[in-house]
């Protein structure tokens, strides 16, 4: 399944998962220490909806939830 919005072209983004150990300074410890960093993906909230298109017809589209909330999609 394609994870790209057909309206705004929002797709997966990359980032890092950071693991920290230790007790925070304001809780009486010596501070948090980073012990591991690994790659991760942030996936958009893609929904499959039936939407009206310019030609007057209805077709299935993969659209992100943000576009649905903003009213960029007219459901058919």
Neighbouring residues of 8: CB distance < 8 A, sequence distance ≥ 6: 64, 66, 67, 72
The confidence band for 72, taking pLDDT boundaries of 50, 70 and 90, is: very high
Domains and CATH numbers, the chain: 13-70 (2.30.170)
Question: Residue 76 has what pLDDT?
Answer: 80
pTM: 0.74
27-53: pLDDT as tens digits: 999 999 999 999 999 999 999 999 998
Percent of the chain residues topping a pLDDT of 90? 88
Residue 1 has pLDDT above 70, yes or no: no
Distance CA 65, CA 1 (A): 16
Q: What is the mean pLDDT of the chain?
A: 94
């Amino acid at each position: 399944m394609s994870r790209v919005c057909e309206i705004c072209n929002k797709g997966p983004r990359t980032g890092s998962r950071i693991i920290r150990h230790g007790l925070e300074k304001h809780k009486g410890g010596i501070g948090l220490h980073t012990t591991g960093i690994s790659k991760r993906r942030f996936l958009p909230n893609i929904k499959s909806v039936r939407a009206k298109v310019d030609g007057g017809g209805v077709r299935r589209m993969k659209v992100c939830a943000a576009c649905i909330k903003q009213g960029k999609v007219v459901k058919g």
